[in-house]
Amino acid sequence: MTIDRLNPKDSLGFLTWKVSRLLTNSLAARFAAEGIRITVEQWRALLPLYKCDGMSQGRLCEVLSQEKTGVSRLLAALERRGLVRRESGDGDRRVKHLFITDQGRGLVDATIQMALENSRGCCADISPEDLEVCMRVLWKIVEPSFDHACLLRGTE
């Protein structure tokens, strides 16, 4: 197949990327409309720390599937705003452990419902049955590489 004949409707990579962008942009607009001054990327970095406080910076990179430099920039911004704090590990001073502050927890608590409503709104025209199938199929793709048990805590 040549690029001329490639149909975006047949590309899982394109479709998942586009859905991700639509959800991200929509949530960013909601945050802005509510006067919440945080990027969606920064907000997403807070979520694993909310459930798994004290994880290492390297582990957060794995959870977010992002490079160390990008995560370092996110964390620096969050730290400046008082939403997270970094502490050196006991055994190895180079290892940084991350802790969400009370202010960070408050921000997640204040915005999580907004994020859930955003997802529901973006999927409003999809039947519950179709959405369930879509989620189940996507989970089958993600699950083999998803080894972050603490993130599933309380979801059973």
Locate the domains of the chain by residue range. 8-152
CB 115 within 8 A of CB 47: no
For 38-52, 54-68, 83-97, 118-132, which range has the lowest pLDDT when averaged over its residues? 83-97
Q: b/e per residue, 115-145, with b = 16+ CB within 10 A?
A: beebeeeebeeeeeeeeeeeeeeeeeeeeee
Can you give the pTM of this predicted structure?
Answer: 0.83
> Letter for the amino acid at 45?
A
CATH 1.10.10.10 is held by the domain 8-152: yes
Half-sphere exposure of 28 (CA within 13 A, CB side): 10
Provide the pLDDT confidence category of residue 156 given band limits of 50, 70 and 90. very low
Phi and psi, residue 36, nearest 5°: -90, 115
Closest of 154, 51, 50 to residue 102, by C-alpha: 50
